[in-house]
Each structure stands twice: as C-alpha cells, then as structure tokens.
Amino acid sequence: MISMTASENNARITVNYAGRVQGVGFRFTVCRIAEPFDVTGYVKNLTDGSVEMVAEGNSSALADLHRRIRKEMKGNIASHKMDDSRATGEFQSFDIAY
C-alpha cells in the first residue's frame, strides 16, 4: 500500500487492459509493481473480462508504472486503452478494488 498526499498528485491515468488478464494474478502483480512508485489509485476486474487501473501521481511515475506493467505482463495483455486526466486527490493508497 502506497501513501501520498493529495497535493502531490498532478496527473491521473485510467487504463483498461484486455486479454488474459483475469484469473492470472494480474491485479496482485500490478499492486506489486506499483509498490516502489509514489502513486495512488486502484486496479480492479471489470465484468467484460478486462482490468481497469486508475492511478494518480506525477506524470513520470505514471508513465514508468504503465511501462513496467506492460513489460512484465506482456504475455497477458492483448491490448490496452489509456486516458489521461487531472488528478482528483481522492485516493490515499494504491489497492485492489472489488
């Protein structure tokens, strides 16, 4: 679990990962990958079989996080769609959402 103050948040990414991303430990792997990054948000399974990640932090950390996820889980990710927006500061940590 990562903590940071809302004032440090300046960017937000919402990523939808499709492929073989459910039932393979994808969410747990994303949380492990996120540990060293100063980010907040969540990762969760969606009913359509994809996984959504919402992360807030500085732009560089978010880009590095997304790059590491794609690299480590490349055998599972068939495609992804990412949207950028402004951070809301609503998260206190990075966790799995249910």
Q: Quote the tokens at residue 2.
A: 């990562």
d(CA 32, CA 47): 23
Active-site residues, by number, are: 27, 45
